[in-house]
Amino acid sequence: MKKIISVLLLLPSILVAQNMYNVFPVVENTISGTARYIGMGGSMGALGGDISVIGSNPAGIALFRSNDVNFTASVNSMGVETDYEGEKATGDNSYGAIDNVGFVLVNKFDVGMLKFLNVGVSYKRDNDFTRSFNMTGMSDGFSQQYIIDGLYKNSPFDIAKLDYGMYESFGYNWLSLLMAEGYYYDYTPGDDFITDRDGNLLWQPTDMAYYSDERGGADEIDFNISANINDWLYVGITLGVTNVDYGRYSCYLENDDLGKIYSVSNDYRLDGHGLNLKVGAIIRPFRYSPFKVGISIHTPTWYSLTESYSASMTGIDGYIYDTRDEERYFDDVYLKYKLNTPWRFGISASYTFGNYLAIDTEYEYADYSSVEYTRNTNGSKAQNHEIERNLKAQHTFRMGAEYKIGDFSIRAGYNHMTAPFEKSAFKNLGNANVTDTSTEYLNKFEKNVFTLGGGYRYRDFYFDVAYMLQMQKADFYPFYDVDYVNPAADVKFKDHSVMATVGMRF
């Protein structure tokens, strides 16, 4: 533990800073929209003509030639499997959701070079956080107690004089305070907290387990105006208004041969709203060719966020110690701050063969290491340094195709997203609020998305369906031990979604 203690000593003892692992679900890019858009893998940036491009390439709304209104709903199954040193655990969630509601109003001018000036409004479920996660395995000499002992040694307190006011001072790590309240120390004078004088744990675990339940999502309402200039250049701009509602309950526990040694539970909430702008253009390089090229630029989403959290511990005496106890702290901890997501840059190309086949390919770049956290404390600089060190640029490749047979359509798509985390990324508890009592973190790898879809159009009405399979691997750590580099749990995410869109053009 000497290494982690030395690292902690270099940092201020009180850092009111958000942890990047808490905010990453908010900044992570996902694919969402109508069934047609999903069926083509979200690759319609140069093709346009679907309400969902309002959030990818706003110029695509300019390709509408008739008014459009639609509604999209989905059924989703979110699956996850963990493997920790040969011990496997699974988690599954199924739920329904409203994914997209939108309309486009077409205004035909045909005066000079301006052919159409269109307006669009769309609501979409931008990201859904619903998921249950489980991990279990043998301890094999690793224990969260060593990490807590290091936090205590960084900011030691007199256990004999422990009182409830120590929670309100924000001068000591709450995880250490909870363990002290649970009597994780030897009564023999001179012995250390959690460990004896030889550095051995007072309570030796045989196995460990972790469970979390996540709920909520991120929604966005987009307002668009776009123009068709002489059927050659299409331009558009979209104002996005976002809302975040995210909650996570988690519990970590260690057992020995006689039963549970202790467990630490955390309640975490993140709420807020944000604004962003998206601009785009689609051009026909060759006047009478169906080949089109699209470009798009997304500003960061400028978020104002509020997080709240609390913790409780079941000690060796079986008693539950809760930070919300009115004699301890009496409420959740609240923290307000600003967060800026990365800029996004996209380029796309499409080609249509007659009126029966359309293909579209896209590339998008987003540098997650540029995510910026702002608050009027010294924690902002330290947290932004952590983001720069642990996150990196993500490259996203999309392709999609649509084949029409009369009134029917068949679609397919594919997405590949490179890993947003550095392989060496870890959660530095020394760079977190003293009230942060969760030690776990998840490093996600590359992601692959496969989609299939179909549609039918009858006069002014249309009906589309799509299936989406998302697969991603990750490393999960219940805690980070610098000295011994504890093994990670191998994680496999496999999510299935079926969505349907009904709409009318008139």
Q: Is the per-residue pLDDT at 145 higher than 70? A: yes
Of 7-11, 203-207, 223-227, the poorest mean pLDDT is in 7-11
The secondary structure of residue 421, as a DSSP letter, is B
Q: What is the pLDDT of residue 383?
A: 78
Considering only CA atoms, which of 442, 479, 437, 495 is closest in space to residue 249?
A: 437
| Residue 433: both structure tokens together | 């609020």
Give the SS3 label for residue 415. strand
Of 161-175, 309-323, 352-366, the poorest mean pLDDT is in 161-175
- Name the residue type at position 190: G
For the chain, what are the domain ranges? 2-505
User: With bands split at pLDDT 50, 70 and 90, how would you rate the model's confidence at 5?
Assistant: very low
User: With bands split at pLDDT 50, 70 and 90, how would you rate the model's confidence at 7?
Assistant: very low
At 110-131, the pLDDT tens digits run 778 999 999 999 999 988 899 9
User: With bands split at pLDDT 50, 70 and 90, how would you rate the model's confidence at 2?
Assistant: very low
Considering only CA atoms, which of 18, 100, 10 is closest in space to residue 379?
A: 18
Q: What is the pLDDT of residue 328?
A: 65
Handedness of CA 383, 363, 443, 451 (dihedral sign): positive
At 464-494, the pLDDT tens digits run 999 999 999 999 999 988 777 788 999 999 9
Mean pLDDT on 217-231: 95
Q: Is the per-residue pLDDT at 190 higher than 60? A: no
How many CB atoms lie under 10 A from the CB of residue 408? 11
Q: Is the per-residue pLDDT at 435 higher than 80? A: no
Q: What is the pLDDT of residue 492?
A: 96
Q: What is the pLDDT of residue 3?
A: 33
Q: In sequence order, which residues have a C-beta less than 8 Å from that of residue 52 and are 6 or more positions away?
A: 32, 33, 34, 36, 37, 42, 44, 100, 122, 124
Q: Strands (DSSP E) along 328-487, which ranges?
A: 333-340, 344-353, 357-367, 372-374, 393-405, 408-417, 441-458, 461-477
How many CB atoms lie under 10 A from the CB of residue 199? 11
Q: What is the pLDDT of residue 494?
A: 96
Q: What is the pLDDT of residue 126?
A: 87
At 19-72, the pLDDT tens digits run 778 888 888 888 999 999 999 999 999 999 999 999 999 999 999 999 999 999
Q: What is the pLDDT of residue 290?
A: 94
At 314-363, the pLDDT tens digits run 988 888 888 887 666 667 778 888 999 999 999 999 999 998 999 999 99
CATH of domain 2-505: 2.40.160.60
Q: What angle do CA 355, 62, 289 make, to 5 degrees?
A: 40
Q: Which residue has the tokens 């003509």?
A: 49
Q: Is the per-residue pLDDT at 259 higher than 90? A: no
CA-CA distance, 249 to 240, in Å (whole number)? 29
Q: Is the per-residue pLDDT at 378 higher than 70? A: no
Bridge partners (DSSP) listed for residue 400: 360, 413
Average pLDDT across the chain, whole number: 88
Q: In sequence order, which residues have a C-beta less than 8 Å from that of residue 311 and are 6 or more positions away?
A: 174, 175, 178, 264, 265, 266, 267, 322, 323, 435, 437, 438
- Name the residue type at position 111: V
